[in-house]
Every structure is written in structure tokens, then in C-alpha cells.
Amino acid sequence: MASALPPLALAIVAIGFPIVLTNPFFIALANQVFLNAAVAVSLSVLLGTTGQLSLGHAAFVALGAYGSALLAQHGVAVPASILIATILVGLLGWGLARLFLRLAGYYLAIATLGVGLVVAVVLRNEKEITGGIDGLTVEPLALWGADIYSEVVWYYILLAALTLIIAATLTLLKSPAGRALRALHDAETAAIALGVDTLRLKVQVFVYSAALAALMGALYAHYVGFISPNAASFHRSVEFVMMVVIGGIGSIAGAVLGALIITLLPVTLADFEQFETLVAGSILLATLIFLPEGLVRPVKRIWRRRVS
Amino acid sequence: MDLAILQFLSSGITEGARYALAALGFTIIFNASGVINFAQGESIMLGGLISAILVQAGWSLPVAILAAVLCATLASILLQKISLRVLQRSGILTVIVLTVAFGMVVRGTVRAAAGTSTMTLPHFSSAQPLSLMGATILPQTLWVIVTALLVLAILGWFFECSRMGRAFMATASNAITAQLMGINTKMVLLLAFTISGIVGAVAGAVTAPITYTSFDAGVMVGLKAVIGAILGGMGSIPGAVVGGFLLGIAEALTAGYVSSAYKDAVSFLMVVLVFLVRPNGLFGRPAVERV
Amino acid sequence: MSTVSPVSAQFSDTPFVALHAVCKSFGGPNVLDDISFVLKHRQVHSIIGPNGAGKTTLMNIISGLYRPTSGRVLLDGADIAGRKPSDLPSMGLSRTFQNLKISGSMTVLENVMLGRHRLLKNGFVRGLFGGPDARRAEMGARRVASDLLDFVGLNSDGERMPGELSYGALKRVEIARALASEPSLLLLDEPAAGLNPQETGEIKALIQALAGRGITVILVEHDMKLVMEVSDNVVVINYGRKIAEGPPEQVARNPRRHYRLPWNAGALTMQDVVDIIQSEHRSMHQISAVLELVCRDAGDDPDALNLTLVDAGLAYFAGFSREVHHPKEEGFVFAPLRGLSVETDRALDQLTTQHVEEAHQLEKLRQRVHEARDRTDRARVRDDLLEFLSCLGKHIQLEETAILPLVRSQLPDESRKAAYDAFLAHSDPLSADADRAFTELRHIVASMAPAPFGLGAREAALNTAVSEGTVLPLLALEGIDAFYGSRQSLHGITVEAASGRLVSIVGSNGAGKTTLLKTISGIHPTRKGRILFEGSDIARLPAWRRVALGIAHCPEGRQVFGTFTVEQNLQIGGFTQPTAGVAEAVEQMYALFPVLKEKRRQSAATLSGGQQQMLAIARSLMSRPKLLLLDEPSMGLAPLIVEEVFAIISRLRRQGLTILLVEQNAAEALPLSDQGYVLETGRIVLQGPGQELAGNEQVRQAYLGL
């Protein structure tokens, strides 16, 4: 079947990548892409179904990272610390969503923005706990008694995490709950009349999104071994939004592609640092003006037309 | 009264004036178009930074400010042109993201052209602090307050009394019916972005001697403006002004009595508190939604 | 999983849905006022009434989307108050929507599967994991959904996207989706709106098939033919109140306010005679109700009694009885009935005497009103007036109970022709060519009666000029096409409005009437065709330029600027006019609509519906238009104000203004119009002089509810 071809090719490339390209720089870059892609997927689901913009996803990532790091510092085993941190951020997301989703409009966007501000301020200023702007050294992930430092092992861990998140998200979108989610943006009233508790569903998807961001943040912390308050900045949050928009709001493949582009951009512009904001902004602006559906959907349409 | 509190109030009002004018510009655009403009802070940055650069290049202060206001206004108009185009094709969410992108482009352009250094503008009159009831106040603070009041008075007159102002209010409350009155609503939209740009740039220029400015100075102010506007009640013009001032004063008091590091956190806490009590903000009206 | 199936349906006579004194307001006056009814199991119940009557609000209350301001809604005995709307499907309720609410990003089949939501394991976390159970459940839902698509006749369209289906098909998709939740009560909100006759036929068959599935149906619909054919029970509401209820054949005979004569004597039946007499009674009853209200309001303070209003009311009674009503009764009802029985004769004697006494009393009462100087005089006027009204009420009741029932069975057939001629001579004073004196008297009453029955003004306006007309053929539409998204809403519309004429456009909901007006004023784009205004094509001009050319559009639902004062609303209406002339124009509007002058400083949102409508019309006139587009000006208004609106329209037309009127109230609009067009699913299907269309059998059936 023609439609099975691209995923299969993609899987072979993904698994074979570190075997062919052994340069640790490229592998580290790939790891960054996976981390960002997973967060972008979580944000894309939120944005694509509820139409709610989160301008604080970086804060959720940072909270996951700091949370797991601090728990590990206080003696919690590392895989368990990741889980606990993820759950705690999920709870925070639940509280926020309950408070701000009652209101129509873009209040949740503002709330996430506020959370971002507060988290950044706290991380920067509570030196005794977070290490302030100097950041925090994080303990490595230990599996079966062995600390994991290898870029290649992390490559497969993060690849597996991203794959699982994508699989779970796609499964969700095909489930009854997912169908209701997809109906939210242009048939919400109908969904309510058919027994969908839309508020609850929106809260759930927000919690899911925040928790995934925290999970990736925690993985990131243990992978890199160091975190700083920059991870929570508004700028980072906007980057996640950019990944989603460039790929196409609501598109999973688009989120991954967007993550790829935005992650690689600073690398390609390494010698022109002063142009980074301008170029990133221009790419986003151009996408919104000329490809409002993002990069993936038009390509898919053309592909489908060629196949049929 | 405590001397310190006077001091904090005066700095709070300076900061508040900036937030209030930015929130005002934000609300004007929101009312006319429904767009949440996350690039609102950039006109403040442009107003301050371009004035500073031009003064450094030897221009006289008033001419420099005028030029800066012009630049910021043109940027705002450009944003209007782009967002109108995108709005027609893709809806409001995309436009909101668009304003974020536009802010990045403006910041990126300024950064590429003028670098990242922090700049300042000379004080409009003397830089010698005045003593007022024992507290010291910079004359520039008075400039800020007077300018803010002047701008508010002019806008107040404009919206309440002038023909174009009424047309604006009509468009804000019902754009389609406004067209049936013979109002060119596209023109009104353009007007909204123009006013918003001018107000922001003026606020940026008049506060620049105190707050300093750099290419990324607009981000925080812009975000605070949004929060101030929501605090006052989304869409309410007096609400935006009051919300902005409240925010500035609360931040100054927090900085004074609690910790300067946490002043940025206050804004969010205030929004949460207000929302718990009045979900539509201080001056907001509940929306009656009919299916 | 909730498997609660509220099927106590075996007792099909038990009440299933019960409303007790339901009221609803959106901050202003009540949109629904004291609505109560009980609906039985397994029947098709229709809720009918004109646009703006409150039907959709009622629907939204029954389906839990709105909470009533007061009153209770019981579903199978359980109060739905406080339930989340999303809980109602598990109580057995499902609905469709007046405006389609179908997700455009899912296939048709998936949309229907959404209806299965409550019957599936729909947890969020479960959704993340999938598994064979979930796949099996999904396959099951898919089967049910595709069976339902079969049932609604769309078996081959499951995998298509909604955008590819016709509007009529999508209406049926909504029904399939609603059925997917296995409801015992199905609410259908205007399922036939915007459909062509063939599609309507399909919907009808579908509704009839539902009864076979044991489903109770509540139908809100404008297509009276459909309602009459499928309903077991009909509830009529108007201006937010229930005005009638019963089986369709009974309700069909129910109140139309003005009875108009058939086109020839042969068609006049004895039932028509009864209807005419009754409609005249109702007309008098309206005035009498207003006077009674005024007296009661002035209860302790006789000074508050509005003597101008009272005098106008009395003058109306006197003239109406003398010239219109009594001659008919005495000449063509009483006379032929004499000699039937002793009781009848006695009753007829009594009634005839009362007619004389009535006239006498009226004379005396009016005299007293004119001479009333002080408090005691006024108090006496009030007391006498109340007594008179009560006598009048009894008199009318006697006629309706003792005499009218005899007319149909006993009146000899040969008296028909005579009756017809006589009835024509003493025609309804409210018809187009009515006697001016009556019109003015009713105008005074409508203006001064307290809101919401009237406009609640202290003054009434008479004989004020607005603007002069021109002699050019003013507006001509040539082959106009318009779209909503991919759906074509207007197909090659060609319409002409000659200068100084009143042109009506009638048709059912969703036929495209409002869209047509919007394309003329420019707030909806035309895809094809020309709009010639004074000879030049304006189809590409933006709306605001068209206003300056002289086209004013008074939109559906009034759309006054709520936060503005009345005066500011008027001023903004004059936006295109030179500033100097605006103040003068505002004064002209105040002369034309005195109530607006009284309320000039109030915000428009605080006005009653009728007052807002006057403001909206006045605001349109502020731009000194040559052409006025009026969209449903009578929507949701009390009868007395509806008359006033039409009186204003006639007056404007007489003064030379060209008017294009869209009205659901075709019975009222067509006879007034010089020219009429009938619009059906976006096409002109009939046109002709207004009077002629009003008489057209097809039109009468489809749009006049005759």
C-alpha cells in the first residue's frame, strides 16, 4: 500500500541514523529534535483540537526538568522522579485549566503566559533550591544499575519516547474521546448535545499536553545533565508554538517537521547570531501568510492526488 | 504617610502609565478587530529605541521622537495590513500567532540593525530629582504622568465626542451594522492600529529616560499590557487604563516591600485573584452568548 | 458507560416532557413568558410561531443549553434544571440544529459516530491505549452509524467529507447523528429550512418513520404543510407566550389576526363569516385590553390616566362599531337567524339592545373624557370606563357562545352573495385602503399603550413628511448568485423595484431572503450578476459607499447599538450626512417617533423590542435613503406594534420612499405591496402584484398559513 511507504522509510532512517552517522554532534542534534518534537506534538494536539494557545509550554518543560532533578537530588530514584514530576505538572495543568477554561476566548493563553513568567522568575531567584541563573547539575538516568551517558543510548530512549507519544496521540484521536476532541473546533455545540462533556475533555487534553511537556523536560534534564532557567523563557514557549504552526496546527507529522526546522535553524545560522530572531520570525510570518495550513497538509494533499 | 510609599507610588505610576498606554493600544485593536496583539510592546520599544538612536546620531529630541513615532506607526499599520489578509483566510487564532511572529520580526530587525546594547534617552527637562513632600521625584516622572493624562484626555474626547470616534465605537460593538451606517470599517481598523502605534511609541519615548531601552524591551511591556487589559476587563477602555496603572503600582509596591525579583510574578497573581472574584475583569461585562 | 434507557414508553399516555411556567430573559424583557405544556410519549409534537416568537430559545431550554430564568422542565418526570447539557443525552434526549453543526474536518460517517459517544467507552486515558476491545467497539459503532446513514438514505456517502454533500443531505446527516445516541426524545430544529420541496418530502418521510422507532419528536418548523402532515399535536407560541395548543386541524383554524375576504363571493363560506366576526372581536379586544391596563395602572392615581389614549380608544370603538362591525352583525348574522327559536330570539333582542346602549354609553363616556378637569372627574372616567369594558366583554362573549355557533349550521346559503358584498363594503379598517381615521386612532393607541403591548410613548405623531421620491426605476437585480462557503444561497435572482414602490419578498426560512437584502446593501458578496441602482452597477462597491448612494438597510433583529444612547444611535445613522444636517434630521425622527424623543438619553439596550424596532427604522432613515431595505421588521413584536410597523411602512411608501420588504408575515406584507416576489431555496419562483400574490392559492397555502 502506498500510504504505508513513507512511515516505513522513516522508521528505517530513524533506526539506522546513529549507525550510519556516528558523529556525536549529529546524534546530539537528533536528540534535541526528538525532545522538541514530542513537546510540539503535545502542543499541537492542544491547539488543534481546543484552539487554545499555550504560551507557557516551556514553563511546563522546565518544571518537569527541575522537578525531576530536585527529586533525584533528594534521593528519589531517577525513573521514579521523572514520573512524579510529570504527575505534579499534570496536576498544575489541571488546576489552571479548571480555572481558566470556563471562560470563552483566549484567557487560557494569558494564564499560561503568566505561569511562564512566574516560573521563570522563581527559577531565577530561588538560588538555594534551583541554583538561580547558574543552573543546576542533574543526576544521570540510571537503568539496571548503570548510569546512562551515551548519546546513542539516549538517541534510542528519546526516539522510543517520541514514537510512543505519537502512537498514543494518534490512537487517542481515533478513539471516541478523540473524535469528540476533533469535533470541538467547529461543532462544539453539537458535541455537547450528544453527551460530550466538552469542558472536561478540554481540561483533560490540557493536562495531557502539560504532562507530556513535563515528561520531555525531565528526560531532557537527565540527558543533558544540566538545566538553567532559560528553559522556561517566553522565547522558548514561542519556539514551541512556531514548531506547531510551521508544520500545521493539529498535524502530528507537522509538529515533528516544525521541531526539526526550528531546532536546526540556530545551528545553520551559527555564524549569524544577530539575525536569528529575524530569520525565525520571518519564517513564521511567511508560513502564516503564505501557508496558513502549515507545511505538511499541502504536501499530503499533493501526495494523495498523485497516488489516486 | 510613609515616605517610602510615596517613592514606590511614584515609580509605580511611571511604570503604570507605560502599561496603561500599552494596554489602551491593545484594547483599541482588540475592540476594532478581535485580535489579541502580542506585538503591542514593540511599538513602545520602537518609540524609545529609535528616539535614542536618533538623538545619539545628533538629531534634536522632538524631531527624533516624532520620527520614532512615525516609524512605530508605520510598523503598526503594516501589521494591520498583514493581519487583515490572514484573518480573511485563516481565522483569529492564526492572527494571534501572527502578532507573535510580527513582534519577532520587528525585534529581529532592530537587533540586526542596531545591536543588543541598552540605550537611554536624555531627560526631557532636568535630570535633577525634585523634592515633593519629602519624597524625591524625577521631573521625567512628571513628564510621563502629564503625557499619559494628555493622551487619555485626547482619546477620551475622540471616542466620546468625535464623529470618527463614534464610528469606531459602533464598529467595535457591531462591525456589520456599522457598515450599514455607511462607516468604512476597514478605515476604522486602520485607524485603530494607527492610534495604537502612536500611543505605544509616545509611551515608549516618554518613559525611555527612566526605564532605559533595548531591542527586547518591548516583550515584557507587551505581555504586561495584555495582562493589564484583562485585569481591567477585556475590551473595556477605562478598564485597560485602570488595569495598567494598578499593575504598575502593584509591581512597584511588591518590589519595594517584598522583593524586586518577584515583581514580575505579581501581574499573574493579580489576574488569578481577580478572576476568582470577577471572571470578566474589573470593568468587563459578561458576554451573553446565544446559540 | 451509561446504559440508562429512560423508556417508560410502554405507557404511551403518560406525560413525557412537561414544562411548568418557563420564563427566560437575556437580561432584558422576557423572551419566553410563562410557557407551560405537556407532551406525550411517541408522538410528533410541533412548536410553531413566527420568527422571533421564541421557538429556538424554547428548544435550547428543553435541550439544556439555556437555563430557564424561572419555571421547570421535566423530562420523563425528572427535572433537568441544574443538569449539565451534556448529561441530557443519557436521559434520552437528542437534537438537531437550525444552522448545521457538523464538523467539516471529519467524514460523514465519523460525524454520525460522534452520536454514539455516550454509548461507547469514551474515557480520555482509555483512548490513549486502544487495544482490541476498543477496535471491536469502534467497528460496532461504525456499523450502527452506517445503518443509520442507510435509514436516512445516504448509504453511499459515509466516507465523503461533509463539504461534498448538499445542504439537504447534511440535514439528514444531523438526524442520523442524533439517532445514533439512541434517543427516546428527538428535537428537530427547523429540519426543512432551506430545503427544496423534494428534500422536504424526504424529511417528512423520515419524521414519519421515526414514530415507528418509538421516538417522541419535538419539531420546530415553519413549513406549515409539513407540520400539519406529520404532527399529532401542535403548540403555537408568539411573542414568547403560548397562544394555542391542540391537534393540527384544530390549531390550523386558529387565530390569524386579520381576516381577509376571499377573492370572490363563491368562495365565501359561513365559516369565513364567523372568522371575520371573530377577528373583529379580537381587534376590539386588543384595544379593550389596553384600556383596561391603563385604568388599572392608574389605580390609585387618577391623574396618571392618559386621557388622550382613552379618548382615542373610545373613538375607535364608536366608529368601528357603527361603521364596520354592527352593520355586519345586525344585517347578516342576526337578521337571518331570527325565528329559529325563542331563546335565540331573546338573545338576539338582548344583543341588539346592547348595541344601542353601547353607542349611548360611549357617547356619554367620551363627553365625560372631554370635560374631565380634576381628579374626581378622572376617577369617574376610570370607573365608568372599566364598567363599560366589562359590559362590552360580556356582550362579545354572549355573541360568540350563543350566536356564532348557529351561523354555520343555520344560515341559509342564498345569503352568501349579499353577505359578501356587504362585508366588502364594511371592510376591515386595517386593510391597505383603510379609512384613515381608524388608522390614526389605532396609531395613537399603539404609540401610547404601555410597553410591551405598545410603545409606551406619551405622544403620538401624525402626518409628518420624510423625503420626496424620484421617478427613475430605482433598483434592478440581474442574475444575482451568492454563496455561503461552498453552498449556493442565491441562484440567478432577478428583481426590480420601481421608484416609490413597496416591493415584498416572501418565502420560508432559509430561502435566502435575508441574504438577498445583504447582497443589495453589500454586506454579503455577490458571485455573479449585476445590481443596478439608479442605472449604475453597484455590485462591487463596499457597503459603506452604497449607504452614501442612498441605500439604507434596516437589518433583521434590529441590531441597535446597545451601549449607545437612542440619540447616538440616530446620529450614527446619519454618518454619511453632512454634520450640519444631522441634528435637524434627528429632530425629524423625533417628530415621526415621539417615543424616541422621550428615551433619547437612555441606552438603546434598555428599550423594549418594539421601541428598538422604531429606533432601527429611524436610524435607517437618518441617511436620507432613496431605497429602504427592511428585514423582518415585525419579528417578535406584540400584535399592536406589528400593526404600527406596517402603518409606518405604508406611510413611508405614501411619502415616496422605495421600500424592499422581507417579511415572514406574508399575510400582512403582500396585500400592502405594489409588487411581490416569492423566494424558494434561493430562486424566485413566483412574482406579481402584491394583492394578486396574496390571492394566489399556492402562496396562500405555503406562506399565509391558510
The interface residues of chain B toward chain A in range 200-239, judged by CB-CB distance below 8 A, are 219, 223, 226-227, 230, 234
Residue C627 DSSP code: E
Half-sphere exposure of C652 (CA within 13 A, CB side): 28
Maximum pairwise Cα distance, chain A: 62
Q: Is B160 exposed, middle or buried (0-12, 13-18, 19+ CB in 10 A)?
A: exposed
d(CA C338, CA A197): 70
Q: What is the pLDDT of residues C288-316, one digit of tens each?
A: 888 888 888 777 787 778 888 888 888 88
Interface of B with A in 100-139 (CB under 8 A): 100-109, 111-112, 115-116
Q: In the beta sheet, which residues pair with residue C40? A: C15
SS3 track for C210-256: HHHCCCEEEEECCCHHHHHHHCCEEEEEECCEEEEEECHHHHHCCCC
Chain B residues contacting C via beta carbons under 8 Å: 163, 166-167, 169-170, 173-174, 176-186, 288, 290-291
List the single residue in A51, A114, A278 with the smallest CB-CB distance to B271.
A114
Q: Are A63 and A119 in contact (CB under 8 A)?
A: yes
Grid cell 416591493 — which residue? C503
pLDDT at C28: 66
CA angle at residue C439 from C436 to C441, to 5 degrees?
Answer: 110
| Closest residue, chain B, to C559 (C-alpha) | B177
- C316-357, pLDDT tens digit by residue? 888 888 877 887 788 777 877 787 788 888 888 888 898 888
Residue C450 DSSP one-character state: P
pLDDT band (50, 70, 90) for residue C8: very low
**Tens digits of residue pLDDT in A206-256:** 999 999 999 999 999 999 999 999 899 888 999 999 999 999 988 999 999
Say if residue A299's pLDDT is above 50. Answer: yes
| C-alpha to C-alpha distance for B5 and B9, rounded to whole angstroms | 6
Closest-approach residue (CA) in chain B for C100: B291
Higher-pLDDT residue of C644, B135: C644
Pick C134's closest partner by Cβ from A175, A193, A198.
A175
Residue C4 has pLDDT above 70, yes or no: no
Q: What three-state secondary structure class fits C535?
A: coil
Looking at residue C426, its pLDDT comes to 58
| E strand or H helix that includes residue C497 | strand C487-498
Q: Report the alpha-carbon distance of residue B291 to residue C476 in Å, rounded.
A: 36
Q: If chain B, 291 residues long, is cut into consecutive pieces of 10 residues, what is the mean pLDDT of each piece?
A: 78 89 92 88 94 93 95 95 87 87 93 88 85 80 91 91 91 92 93 95 92 87 88 87 93 88 82 76 59 35
C-alpha dihedral, C159 to C161 to C165 to C168, nearest 10°: 90
Are the Cβ atoms of A186 and C103 closer than 8 angstroms?
A: yes
Q: What is the pLDDT of residues C656-691, one digit of tens each?
A: 889 999 987 787 888 888 889 998 888 998 888 888
* pLDDT tens-digit map of A21-77: 888 889 999 999 999 999 999 999 999 988 888 889 999 999 999 999 999 999 888
C105 vs A180, A186, A196: nearest CB: A186
Pick C114's closest partner by Cβ from A191, A197, A201: A191
The answer on pLDDT for C262 being more than 90 is: no
Kindly state the average pLDDT of the residues C264-286: 73
CA distances from B265 to A114, A123, A231, B234, C564 (A): 8, 12, 17, 20, 38
Give per-residue pLDDT as tens, C59-88.
Answer: 888 888 888 988 999 888 888 877 888 888
8 Å CB contact between C345 and C396: no
Q: Which residues from B are below 8 Å from C66, CB to CB?
A: 291
The helix or strand, by DSSP H or E, that contains position C532, with its residue range, turns out to be strand C528-533
Q: How far A169 CA sits from the closest chain C CA (Å)? A: 6
Closest chain A C-alpha to C639 CA, distance in angstroms = 34
Helices A151-174 and A176-193, interaxial angle, to 10°?
40
Predicted confidence at residue A109, as pLDDT, reads: 83
Q: Spell out the residues 6+ positions from residue C205 whose beta carbon is closer than 8 angstroms to its own.
A: none
Alpha-carbon distances of A169 from A38, A209, C387, rounded to whole Å: 11, 10, 78
Q: Coil, helix or strand for C474?
A: strand
Helix (H), strand (E) at residue C276: helix C270-297
Minimum CA–CA partner of A234 in chain B: B219
Quick one: pLDDT at residue A183? 92
The total of other beta-carbon atoms located within 10 Å of residue C534's CB is 16
Residue among C257, C222, C389 at smallest CA distance from C310 = C389
Which residues, in sequence order, are CB contacts of C62 under 8 Å at separation 6+? C17, C19, C73, C93, C187, C218
Kindly write down the DSSP assignment for every residue of A148-212, as one continuous string.
E--HHHHHHHHHHHHHHHHHHHHHHHHSHHHHHHHHHHHHHHHHHHTT--HHHHHHHHHHHHHHH
**Contact assignment for B111 to A110 by CB distance below 8 Å:** no
State the best of B31, B88, B174, B177 to mutate against chain C, taking most chain C CBs within 10 Å. B177
B89 touches chain A (CB under 8 A): yes
Pairing mode, strands B135-137 and C93-95: unpaired
> Closest Cα to residue A211, out of A32, A49, A38?
A38
Question: Among candidates C97, C94, C98, which has minimal Cα distance to C117?
Answer: C94
SS3 C685: strand
Are residues C561 and B173, on separate chains, in Cβ contact within 8 Å? yes
Mean pLDDT along residues C492-517: 89
Please give the Cα distance from A38 to A45 (Å, whole number). Answer: 11
Answer whether A188 touches B (CB < 8 Å): no
Q: Please give the mean pLDDT across all residues of chain A.
A: 89
State the Cα–Cα distance between residues C165 and C638, nearest whole angstrom.
40
CB contact under 8 A, A183 and C88: no
Helix (H) or strand (E) holding A296: helix A296-307
Chain A residue numbers with beta carbons less than 8 Å from the beta carbon of B259 are 125
The alpha carbon of residue B166 is apart from the nearest alpha carbon of chain C, in Å, by 7
* Residue C340: predicted pLDDT: 78
Side-chain-side CA neighbours of residue A291 (13 Å): 18
**C254 — pLDDT class (breaks 50, 70, 90):** very low
- Measure CB to CB from residue C65 to each of B173, B180, B291 and give the nearest one: B291
* Residues whose CB is less than 8 angstroms from the CB of residue C668 and which lie 6 or more positions away in sequence, other chains included: C258, C634, C642, C646
pLDDT of amino acid C432: 35
Task: Please compute, for residue C175, the number of CA atoms within 13 A of its CA located in the half-sphere on the CB side.
Answer: 32
Chain A: nearest CA to C78, how far in angstroms? 17
Residues 85-114 of A with CB under 8 A from B: 99-100, 102-107, 109-111, 113-114
CA distance B35 to chain A (A): 10
Residue C568: pLDDT band by 50, 70, 90 thresholds?
very high
Q: How many CB atoms lie within 10 A of CB B54?
A: 20
User: Of all residues in chain C, what percent carry a pLDDT higher than 70?
Assistant: 87
Q: Is B240 helix (H, G, I), strand (E, B) or coil?
A: helix
pLDDT of residue B115: 85
> Do A111 and B108 count as a contact with CB atoms less than 8 A apart?
no
ipTM over 0.95: no
Using alpha carbons, select from B206, A194, B267 the residue that is nearest to residue C102: A194
What are the chain A neighbours of B108 within 8 Å (beta carbons)?
275-282
Mean per-residue pLDDT of chain C: 83
- B278 reaches A (C-beta below 8 A): no
C134 reaches A (C-beta below 8 A): yes
d(CA A82, CA A222): 9
Q: Assign C3 to helix, strand or coil.
A: coil
- Is the Cβ of A196 closer than 8 Å to some Cβ of chain C? yes
CB-CB contact of C461 with C446 (8 Å): no
